[in-house]
Every structure is written in C-alpha cells, then in structure tokens.
Amino acid sequence: MVSTTCVLSVDQGTQSTRAYIFDSIDLKILGYNNVSIPQIYPQPGWVEQEPEVLWDSVVAAIQQ
C-alpha cells in the first residue's frame, strides 16, 4: 500500500474561494475546487462580504 501525504491550500479572494490539494512530495495538484461568493457594495468604491458566507464557501470548497 502506498501512502501519500497531501497539503490542502485555501485561497480566499473577493469573488471566490479556491481549495487545492497537492501531493506533498512532487507538489502535483490532486484536486481543485472554486466556489463563488456574492459581492456587497454598500457605497461606491467599497466591497464587503459576510463572514459566515466566507466561512461557508471555504467549507464547501474543501468538501467538494
């Protein structure tokens, strides 16, 4: 049986959350997912996100 150690990386942007799984030996991407998040514009030049929505997008990106 071959055992592979993996690394999970989460990239949180203003429009989406991305999750990558890498093989820790050769850094080959084993999996990837992207979850869009809504933008809130309270006034011109401002962008906001709800903390719970950000967290839910991280969980969804990892699970998928």
Q: How confident is the model at residue 51 (pLDDT cuts 50, 70, 90)?
A: very high
Query: What is the mean predicted confidence (pLDDT) over 32-61?
Result: 94
Collapsing DSSP states into helix, strand and coil, what is residue 31?
A: strand
The model's pTM: 0.79
Whether 64 shows a pLDDT value over 60: the answer reads yes
Rounded to whole angstroms, how far apart are CA atoms 28 and 38?
A: 30
